[in-house]
């Protein structure tokens, strides 16, 4: 069985993965949800210097402190930025990466540069109160907290070629998705396995069991490249 390190998206803490983690644990896996600095139950640590590097360091520290190896990093939305940074800095501890409706940066990208104008407006408007923390948009879970603006603006530095197995999970029912072009690109890339789910962006609460099933399949025999499945005895193909 596998260890899944679960990294939430913007404004969310480890609580967002509760149902997914329960489903993974029921299958014998070890889920490790992480709350990033300045968000969720760590919102009291928010300050202007909290950035993407801080969040990457949060996960690296969790890997070190729990002595975790061969982990599958799972990032939802903004969490894809963190997944990429952790895999670049500690490749020896990582066995695979799963981006769940998430940003997939190249060296020098930031969440700000990769997203749409509409979301850049959300970030800017949300930070008007204090200039460094982005208030959650309307209609998010009541537990959502402000998210550090610097983590959305900082460019990531990736120093090594990505050699891990990679999967992308795309939500087909989010009309405002900033990930559609990315999905179209990755679905024809032989280095990626791409899955689709018929739901909106907030898959962690709308289809947690189904997402856990996809994650489970990344550790077992076989899905085809497009996530449609392969025959018995075929090698794992994310």
Positions annotated as catalytic residues are 77
Distance CA 7, CA 231 (A): 31
The H or E element that residue 134 is part of is strand 133-134
Separation of CA 235 from chain center: 25
φ/ψ of 196, rounded to 5, equals -120, 150
Contacts of 148 (CB under 8 A, 6+ apart): 37, 38, 39, 46, 50, 51, 54, 132, 133, 134
Give the residue from 225, 222, 196, 221 showing the smallest Cα distance to 210. Answer: 196
Label residues 120-154 b or e (16+ Cβ within 10 Å = b).
Answer: eebbeebbeeeebbbbbeeeeeeebbbbbbbbbeb
Residues in the chain, total = 238
Q: Interior CA angle at 163 toward 161 and 164, to 5°?
A: 135
């Amino acid at each position: 069985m596998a260890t899944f390190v679960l990294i939430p998206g913007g404004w969310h803490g480890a609580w967002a993965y509760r149902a997914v983690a329960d489903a993974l644990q029921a299958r014998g896996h070890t889920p490790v949800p992480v709350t990033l600095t300045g968000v969720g139950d760590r919102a009291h640590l928010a300050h202007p210097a909290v950035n993407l590097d801080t969040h990457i360091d949060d996960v690296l520290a969790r890997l070190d402190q729990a002595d975790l190896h061969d982990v599958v990093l799972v990032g939802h939305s903004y969490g894809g930025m963190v997944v990429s940074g952790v895999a670049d800095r500690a490749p020896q501890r990582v066995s695979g990466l799963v981006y769940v409706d998430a940003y997939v940066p190249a060296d020098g990208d930031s969440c700000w540069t990769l997203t749409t104008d509409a979301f850049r407006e959300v970030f800017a408007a949300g930070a008007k109160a204090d200039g460094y923390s982005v208030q959650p948009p309307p209609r998010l879970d009541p537990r959502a907290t402000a998210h550090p603006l610097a983590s959305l603006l900082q460019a990531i530095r990736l120093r090594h070629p990505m050699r891990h197995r990679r999967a992308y999970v795309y939500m087909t029912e989010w009309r405002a998705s900033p990930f559609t072009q990315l999905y179209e690109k990755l679905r024809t890339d032989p280095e990626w396995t791409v899955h689709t789910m018929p739901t909106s962006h907030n898959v962690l609460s709308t289809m947690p069991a189904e997402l856990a099933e996809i994650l489970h399949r990344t550790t077992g025999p076989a899905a085809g490249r497009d996530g449609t499945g392969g025959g018995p005895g075929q090698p794992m193909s994310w």
